[in-house]
């Protein structure tokens, strides 16, 4: 069978690669092309557009790139018409992928969406788009199942694919038995890194007794050229395993850090316009996945003006002290989080269901 997969960012590339591995185990003759990154390419996907081309953030980012976005959607239309896939699989990245799903459905293709858009956080109007343009929806948080099913959307809870990635992780021996660092995760997008890096450099200069290490992304290597902090590229999991605590830019990495049982604080800063518009529509109390899933402030969040080296330092002192209440509470909350997330196997379950759906439609 023929599969077209669209993953719009680095985390989607990771989940896409694990999904493809499982698809190939079941469907030995699978033809798979799509948009993604190096990990999907390594799994055997012919990458037509790299996810770097889709890295557009905030309202201003969208407005500045309207021509580019229109060009990308036109290219997507041409590619799916030429390839004629049995199914198109969209991975996360809701803002872009739902528009692409609309194009796919309007051109007569079957659509499956892996890792649902976070409509419970904001923009619930997207539920209507999912109803219209998505044939099968695969969710990774237990509370999402009822939300979408009550709207009549064919929804499947398959567990969280991060567990698959973490369980499959084999640590680099040179990082073993060394947890002296504080990990700095500046984000996986250019704009996030540009905002976070100067604050991280201030942090390092203000606390010389702590060893810091950045989990860098090699595709944005140019941003780190003049950085005075040690950078390890494309080995985030190894960096976490050799760290006693972490400062994490909000995103998937907050959940990954928690599943590695590393004490953390979450930071985030974006453009003023986007942040203030988002505040009007966001329906949740927290920005980190850890706090959202647990529905409590399990990890500190330093957002916008709170994201300063001084405030990070203040939090770090407590997280590095294993006798502190902050350290003990966070470790206890991580245990509860693991129970809620459940065991690994999401990629395999998703692959089985996606293939079955595609085969049934082909009959």
Structure confidence at residue 360 as a pLDDT band (50, 70, 90) = very high
Alpha-carbon distance of 149 to 341, in angstroms, equals 20
pLDDT tier at 300, thresholds 50, 70, 90 = very high
Q: Quick one: average pLDDT of 64-69?
A: 72
pLDDT at residue number 158: 94
Percent of the chain with pLDDT over 90: 71
Task: Please indicate whether the domains covering 2-159+345-362 and 168-341 agree at the CATH topology level.
Answer: yes
- 3-state class (DSSP) for residue 5: strand
- Determine the pLDDT at residue 25: 97
Superfamily assignment of 2-159+345-362 in CATH? Answer: Glycogen Phosphorylase B; (3.40.50.2000)
Q: Where are the domains of the chain?
A: 2-159+345-362, 168-341
Helices (H), the chain: 10-26, 38-42, 58-64, 66-83, 94-106, 126-133, 144-149, 161-168, 190-206, 236-241, 252-259, 272-281, 289-294, 309-319, 325-341, 346-362
Q: Could you tell me which residue, 111 or 54, shows the higher pLDDT?
A: 111
Write down the architecture of domain 168-341 according to CATH.
Answer: 3-Layer(aba) Sandwich (3.40)
Coil, strand or helix at 233: strand
Instruction: Decide if 73 contacts 96 (C-beta within 8 A).
Output: no
Say which residues have a Cβ less than 8 Å from residue 269's Cβ, sequence separation at least 6. Answer: 195, 196, 199, 303, 304, 307
Q: What is the mean pLDDT of the chain?
A: 90
Whole-angstrom Cα distance, residue 265 to residue 40? 30
Average of per-residue pLDDT across 137-164: 92
Report residue 342's pLDDT band, with 50, 70 and 90 as the boundaries: confident
pLDDT band at 120 (very low <50, low <70, confident <90, very high): confident
Summarize the confidence of residues 71-78 as an average pLDDT: 95
**Count of residues in the chain:** 363
Residues with Cβ < 8 Å from 205, sequence gap 6 or more? Answer: 228
The predicted pLDDT at position 152 comes to 93
Q: Render pLDDT for 278-291 as a digit per residue (tens, 0 to 9).
A: 665 566 789 899 99
**Confidence class for position 326, pLDDT limits 50, 70, 90:** very high
Write the pLDDT tens digit of every residue in 182-214.
Answer: 999 999 888 899 999 999 999 999 998 899 999
pLDDT of residue 247: 98
Q: What is the pLDDT of residues 161-179, one digit of tens each?
A: 999 889 889 988 887 666 6
Structure token digits, residue 182: 């504080």
* CA of residue 205 relative to chain centroid, distance: 30
Pick 272 or 228 by higher pLDDT: 228
Highest mean pLDDT among 56-65, 173-182, 222-231: 222-231
Q: Are 35 and 47 in contact (CB under 8 A)?
A: yes
124 or 144, which is more confident:
144
The average pLDDT across 325-350 equals 94
Q: So what's the pLDDT on residue 166?
A: 92
In angstroms, rounded to a whole number, what is the distance separating the alpha carbons of residues 67 and 78? Answer: 17
Buried b (16+ CB within 10 A) or exposed e, 136-173: bbbbbbeebeebbeeeebebbbbbbbbbbbbeeeeeee
Phi (first) and psi of residue 301, to 5 degrees? -120, 120
Q: Rounded to an integer, what distance in angstroms lies between the CA atom of residue 345 and that of residue 161?
A: 7
Over residues 77-102, the mean pLDDT reads 95
pLDDT at residue number 20: 97
Q: Give the model's pLDDT for residue 52.
A: 84
Q: CA 335, 161, 214 angle in degrees (round to 5)?
A: 75
User: Which pLDDT belongs to residue 206?
Assistant: 93
Q: Quick one: which of 284, 231, 296, 288 has its CA closest to 258?
A: 288
Strand partners, 111: 88
Q: 23-33 pLDDT, tens per residue?
A: 999 999 999 99
């Amino acid at each position: 069978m023929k599969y077209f997969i669209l993953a719009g960012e680095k985390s989607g590339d990771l989940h896409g690669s694990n999904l493809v591995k499982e698809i190939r185990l079941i469907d030995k003759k699978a033809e798979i092309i799509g948009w993604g990154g190096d990990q999907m390419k390594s799994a055997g996907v012919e990458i037509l557009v790299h996810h770097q081309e889709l890295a557009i953030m905030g309202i201003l980012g969208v407005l500045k790139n309207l021509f580019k976005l229109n060009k990308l959607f036109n290219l997507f239309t041409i590619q799916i018409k030429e390839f004629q896939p049995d199914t198109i699989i969209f991975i996360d990245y809701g803002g872009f992928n739902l528009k692409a799903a609309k194009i796919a459905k309007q051109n007569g293709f079957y659509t499956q969406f892996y890792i649902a858009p976070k409509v419970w956080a904001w923009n619930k109007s997207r539920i209507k788009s999912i109803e219209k343009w998505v044939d099968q929806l695969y969710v990774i948080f237990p509370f999402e199942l009822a939300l979408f099913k009550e709207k009549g959307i064919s929804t499947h809870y398959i567990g969280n694919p991060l567990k698959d990635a973490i369980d499959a992780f084999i640590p680099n021996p040179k990082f073993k038995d060394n947890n002296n660092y504080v990990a700095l995760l500046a984000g996986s997008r250019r704009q996030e890194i540009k905002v976070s890096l100067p604050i991280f450099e201030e942090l390092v200069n203000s606390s010389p007794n702590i060893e810091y290490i950045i989990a860098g992304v090699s595709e944005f290597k140019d941003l780190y050229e003049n950085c005075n902090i040690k950078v390890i590229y494309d080995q985030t999991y190894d960096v976490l395993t050799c760290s006693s605590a972490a400062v994490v830019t909000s995103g998937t990495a907050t959940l990954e850090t928690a599943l590695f049982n590393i004490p953390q604080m979450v930071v985030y800063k974006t453009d003023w316009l986007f942040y203030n518009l988002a505040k009007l529509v966001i329906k949740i109390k927290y920005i980190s996945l850890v706090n959202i899933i647990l529905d409590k402030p399990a990890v500190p969040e330093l957002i916008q003006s709170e994201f300063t080296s001084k405030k990070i330092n203040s939090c770090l002192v407590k997280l590095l002290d294993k006798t502190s209440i902050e350290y003990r509470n966070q470790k206890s909350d991580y245990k509860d989080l693991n129970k809620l997330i459940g065991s690994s196997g999401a990629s395999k379950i998703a692959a089985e269901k996606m293939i079955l759906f595609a085969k049934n439609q082909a009959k």
